[in-house]
Amino acid sequence: MAKLGVGVVGVGTMGKQHAYNLRHLIPEAQLIAVADTDIERAKLVATELEIDHHYSSVEAMVERKDVQAIVVVTPAKFHGAAMKVCAHAGKDIFCEKPFTLTVEEADEVLDLTQNAGVRVQVGHVRRYDPPNVSAKRRIEAGEIGDPVIFKSLARDPAPPPVGYMASGVNGMFFQDSTVHEFDLGRWLMNDEISEIHAYGAVLVFPEIAQFNDIDTALLNMKFSRGALGAVENYMQSGYGYDVRTEVVGSKGTIITGYLQQTAEVVLTAAGAKTDVVDHFLVRFADGYLHQMRDFVQTILTDRSTKVDAFDGRQSVAVAAAAERSYREGRAVTVQNRSRTSRAS
Ligand SMILES: NC(=O)c1ccc[n+]([C@@H]2O[C@H](COP(=O)([O-])OP(=O)(O)OC[C@H]3O[C@@H](n4cnc5c(N)ncnc54)[C@H](O)[C@@H]3O)[C@@H](O)[C@H]2O)c1
Q: In whole angstroms, give the CA distance from residue 37 to residue 41.
A: 8
Amino acid at 287: G
Any domain includes 344: no
Q: Which residues of the chain fall below pLDDT 50?
A: none
In a shared domain, residues 132 and 270? yes
**Nearest by Cα to 311 from 142, 155, 179:** 179
What distance in angstroms lies between residue 261's CA and the mean position of ligand 1's atoms? Answer: 26
In a shared domain, residues 67 and 144? no
Residue nearest to atom 4 of ligand 1 (CA): 14
Residue nearest to atom 2 of ligand 1 (CA): 125
Q: How many residues are there in the chain?
A: 344
**Nearest by Cα to 169 from 307, 306, 73:** 73
Range of the domain at 118: 4-125+290-300
> What are the two backbone dihedrals, phi and then psi, of residue 317, each rounded to the nearest 5 degrees?
-65, -35
In a shared domain, residues 121 and 12? yes
Residue 13 Cβ contacting ligand 1 at under 6 Å:
yes
Predicted confidence at residue 340, as pLDDT, reads 84
Q: In whole angstroms, give the CA distance from residue 176 to residue 112.
A: 23
CATH number, domain of 255, equals 3.30.360.10
CATH number, domain of 83, equals 3.40.50.720
Residue 72 Cβ contacting ligand 1 at under 6 Å:
no
Predicted confidence at residue 314, as pLDDT, reads 98
Any domain includes 237: yes
In a shared domain, residues 252 and 296? no
Predicted confidence at residue 342, as pLDDT, reads 66
In a shared domain, residues 81 and 149? no
In a shared domain, residues 313 and 185? yes
In a shared domain, residues 86 and 184? no
What angle (nearest 5°) sits at the alpha carbon of residue 256, between those of residues 160 and 230? 70
In a shared domain, residues 120 and 133? no
Give, in order, the Cα–Cα distances in Å from 322 to each of 4, 154, 214, 329, 333: 38, 16, 12, 10, 9
What angle (nearest 5°) sits at the alpha carbon of residue 187, between those of residues 184 and 190? 140
Predicted confidence at residue 1, as pLDDT, reads 73
Residue nearest to atom 28 of ligand 1 (CA): 74
Residue 192 Cβ contacting ligand 1 at under 6 Å:
no
- Mapped onto helix, strand or coil, the DSSP state of residue 305 is coil
Give, in order, the Cα–Cα distances in Å from 16 to each of 31, 238, 314: 12, 26, 27
Q: In whole angstroms, give the CA distance from residue 322 to residue 198.
A: 5
In a shared domain, residues 251 and 225? yes
Any domain includes 102: yes
Q: In whole angstroms, give the CA distance from residue 179 to residue 156.
A: 14
In a shared domain, residues 156 and 85? no
Predicted confidence at residue 253, as pLDDT, reads 98
Domains in the chain, number: 2
In a shared domain, residues 269 and 176? yes
**Nearest by Cα to 309 from 115, 71, 121, 69:** 121
Find out whether the peptide bond into 98 is cis, omega within 30 degrees of 0: yes
Predicted confidence at residue 343, as pLDDT, reads 58
Q: Residue 38 has what DSSP assignment?
A: S
Any domain includes 343: no
Predicted confidence at residue 344, as pLDDT, reads 53
Any domain includes 339: no
In a shared domain, residues 146 and 180? yes
- Mapped onto helix, strand or coil, the DSSP state of residue 100 is coil
Rounded to the nearest angstrom, the gap between the alpha carbon of residue 299 and the centroid of all alpha carbons in its chain is 19
Any domain includes 340: no
Predicted confidence at residue 341, as pLDDT, reads 77
CB 67 within 8 A of CB 33: yes
Residue 41 Cβ contacting ligand 1 at under 6 Å:
yes
Give tens-digit pLDDT for 207-231.
999 999 999 999 999 999 999 999 9
Dihedral in degrees, nearest 10, Cα atoms 336, 309, 56, 17: 110
Any domain includes 338: no
Burial of 322 (0-12, 13-18, 19+ CB in 10 A): buried
CB 129 within 8 A of CB 101: no
Any domain includes 82: yes
- DSSP notation for 64-105: -TT--EEEE-S-GGGHHHHHHHHHHTT-EEEEESSS-SSHHH
For a pocket test of ligand 1, which of 37, 77, 105 has the largest count of ligand atoms closer than 8 A to its C-beta?
37
